[in-house]
Amino acid sequence: MDGLNGSVVSEFVLLGLSGSWETRVILTLTFSLLYLGIILGNLFIVFLVIADSHLHSPMYFLLANLSFNDVWVSSTTVPKMIFDLLSEHKVISFQGCMIQICFIHMMGGVEMVLLIAMAFDRYAAICKPLHYLNIMSPKRCILLVVIGWVTGVIHTMSQFSFVMNLPFCGPNTIDSFYCDFPRVIQLACSDAEKFEFVVAANSGFMSMGTFFLLLLSYVFILVTVWKRSSGDLSKALVTLSAHITVVVLFFTPCMFLYVWPFPTSSIDKYLFIADFAITPALNPVIYTLRNKDIKISIQRLNKQGHYNRFC
């Protein structure tokens, strides 16, 4: 084992799911299709926003960034899970486990900041329409994206620097589909209580803070729309309810996993599916299929295609 402070554990065993063969085959097929949909759907959005100059606006730049990030978010855990569903020997190397943890928190951090940025963008567009392009200048858009990545790095490193120094010497079985702080910390052979606190304080605070900030911004937008004219309220409600669904779906597992870092039930090991497979699949659906600009852009793309074929 290389010089990781007296660690003797060189791999972790992921228990994951141990159902019948048929169940595992069905789940493998289901998640493979879902993952394929996530990759294709999100990359399609990135492609569309870059290719169509009509979509060169703050909202769509942020959306493309979110889609790009969603591809990575689900790639941190889903491919490994699919692979493990069919294999008998479900192990992950020590380094692989640490890398997985880093990527999960890196991408998770970026995702949270992007969701806040997109809520802020909607707030500016709806509540301050005359200053919108000033508030969301190209410079500020780039700044928001950079803040996302910086936050992701700081968030990851601030926790990882503690866990990196933990000695792992004995048990190496993780009752989950992937590696993450709460489960891995429990395997350390030194007293890990204060590290549990670090993770709960950091990841827990971050997910709860983001969650309430987002809900607050949605309430603010709704109140503004409601005050201005009652006619538009139902339309705003429909749009925002889709966003709120995603936010609740994404943050409830996060809060449950980190603010409550003492896994007692086995349900919580399935919660990650909401974060890594459902939300990345839902984002393209709610931001795209219900969106007029994107539909028009797809039609335009289609026409161009015909045009090129005939000319």
Ligand X SMILES: *[C@@H]1O[C@H](CO)[C@@H](O)[C@H](O)[C@H]1NC(C)=O
Residues in contact with ligand X by the rule CB under 6 A:
46, 49, 61, 64-65, 68, 141-142, 145
What is the smallest separation between the CB atom of 140 and ligand X, expressed in angstroms? 9
What is the smallest separation between the CB atom of 68 and ligand X, expressed in angstroms? 4
Helix or strand run (H / E) with residue 11: strand 11-14
Measured CA to CA, the distance from residue 207 to residue 190 in angstroms comes to 27
What is the smallest separation between the CB atom of 196 and ligand X, expressed in angstroms? 35
Q: Residue 222: count other Cβ atoms within 10 Å of its Cβ.
A: 17
Choose between 145 and 188: whose C-beta lies nearer to ligand X. 145
Q: Residue 146: count other Cβ atoms within 10 Å of its Cβ.
A: 11
Helix or strand run (H / E) with residue 101: helix 94-127
Burial class (CB in 10 A: 0-12, 13-18, 19+), 10: middle
What is the smallest separation between the CB atom of 63 and ligand X, expressed in angstroms? 8
Which residue of this chain has its Cβ atom nearest to ligand X in the complex? 64
What is the smallest separation between the CB atom of 50 and ligand X, expressed in angstroms? 6
Phi-psi map region of 5: left, alpha, beta (phi>0 left; psi -120 to 50 alpha): left
Render the burial of 155-175: b for 16+ CB within 10 Å, e for the rest: bbeebbebbeebebeeebebe
What is the smallest separation between the CB atom of 205 and ligand X, expressed in angstroms? 26
Choose between 147 and 187: whose C-beta lies nearer to ligand X. 147
Choose between 40 and 142: whose C-beta lies nearer to ligand X. 142
Choose between 124 and 184: whose C-beta lies nearer to ligand X. 124
Measured CA to CA, the distance from residue 225 to residue 257 in angstroms comes to 35
| 14: helix, strand or coil | strand
Choose between 121 and 268: whose C-beta lies nearer to ligand X. 121
Choose between 46 and 281: whose C-beta lies nearer to ligand X. 46
